[in-house]
Amino acid sequence: MSGVALDARPIGIFGGTFDPIHLGHLRTGFELLQSLQLSELRWIPVGNPGHREPPLAAAALRLEMVRAAVAGQPGFVLDEREVRRSGASYTVDTLEELHAEHPARPLCLVLGMDAFLGLTAWRRWTDILELAHLVVAHRPGWQRPEQGLLRDLLEQRGTTHAADLHAALAGRIYVHAVTQLEISSTGLRDIITSGRDPRFLVPEPVRAIIRETGCYAAQAD
Ligand code: ATP
């Protein structure tokens, strides 16, 4: 592949509260990095989510956990911009910044199916599709929409060809069947709060941070 073609590979963006980051996030990101041939996958912890309850763990700690989780994986990059920004975090602002920084690179915003089903409530959601492709990862318990606006969007913009994400800067929707791992941050917080051990659901360095800081609750040995 020529240098020019390599430069044109899309940048993946995986945003979330990551309260805490878990293997469902990481395996999904890894499979997408490889199968879509992304040049990198940026992990962007939300600072102050405008649309949901504030996270339990402080932003600095969530950053620390994501940093520990992605360390050593080529192509995984922690991007701190939403935590550093003051005020509520909005994905559209982040995409505008990234597009300004990389005007010739396709952007691929990764979402679980649950998040995609809520897309029309996001701030300036139609602008999001002007700025990025959506890569929707199947998630246990969630089905693709069978009616309404999102079903229509999938019909109009959906593609099963990863090459389409390289050929345009934004606007396509790619649904990808990643390995189904039924792990959620909510479930993890419940496990920890009830004194059980999140081993094998989060990377060991993240488990160590949770244990050392007691950020969710004391945890059994
Ligand atoms: P919570 O339970 O607190 O809502 P979560 O586990 O859904 O947390 P988030 O940080 O809110 O994690 O999710 C960030 C993104 O990761 C969302 O797009 C979500 O759909 C996706 N995601 C979360 N868990 C999984 C999973 N197990 N498999 C695939 N995608 C996931």
Residue 194: inside a domain:
no
Contact 13, 39 (CB under 8 A): no
Structure tokens at 146: 């069978």
Residue 143: inside a domain:
yes
Overall average pLDDT of the 152-177 stretch: 96
Overall average pLDDT of the 196-218 stretch: 94
Cβ 19 under 6 angstroms from ligand 1:
yes
Buried (b) or exposed (e) across 61-82, using 16+ Cβ within 10 A?
Answer: bbbbbbbbbbeeeeebebbbeb
pLDDT in tens, 80-121: 999 999 888 899 999 999 999 999 999 999 999 999 999 999
pLDDT the model gives residue 4: 36
Three-state SS letters, the chain: CCHHHHHCCCEEEEEECCCCCCHHHHHHHHHHHHHCCCCEEEEEECCCECCCCCCCCCHHHHHHHHHHHHCCCCCEEECCHHHHCCCCECHHHHHHHHHHHCCCCCEEEEEEHHHHHCHHHCCCHHHHHHHCEEEEECCCCCCCCCCHHHHHHHHHHEECCCHHHHHCCCCCEEEECCCCCCCCHHHHHHHHHCCCCCECCECHHHHHHHHHHCCCCCCCC
Overall average pLDDT of the 51-70 stretch: 92
pTM of the entire structure?
Answer: 0.93
pLDDT in tens, 1-24: 333 343 579 999 999 999 999 999
Residue 2: inside a domain:
no
For a mutational test of ligand 1's pocket, the pick from 13, 14, 17, 182, i.e. the residue with the most ligand atoms closer than 8 A to its C-beta, is 17
Picking from 39-48, 108-117, 189-198, 211-220, which range would have the lowest pLDDT averaged per residue?
211-220
Q: What whole-number percentage of the chain has pLDDT above 70?
A: 95
Cβ 183 under 6 angstroms from ligand 1:
yes
Ramachandran class of 171: left when φ > 0, alpha when ψ lies in -120 to 50, beta otherwise: left
Residue 214: inside a domain:
no
Does the pLDDT of residue 219 top 90, yes or no?
no
Average pLDDT over all residues of the chain: 92
Residue 204: inside a domain:
no
**CA atoms 49, 50, 52, 58: torsion sign:** positive
Between residues 52 and 140, the one the model is more confident about: 140
Residue with tokens 């949770």: 210
Q: 176 is in which domain, residue-wise?
A: 11-182
Cβ 164 under 6 angstroms from ligand 1:
no
How many whole angstroms from 116 Cα to the centroid of ligand 1?
A: 11
How many whole angstroms from 215 Cα to the centroid of ligand 1?
A: 19
pLDDT the model gives residue 1: 38
Looking at the CA of residue 184, tell me the nearest atom of ligand 1.
6
Instruction: Give the CATH number of the domain where residue 100 resides.
Output: 3.40.50.620
45 C-beta neighbours (distance < 10 Å), count: 29
pLDDT the model gives residue 79: 98
Contact 62, 24 (CB under 8 A): no
pLDDT the model gives residue 110: 98
Cβ 115 under 6 angstroms from ligand 1:
yes
Could you give the number of structural domains in the chain? 1
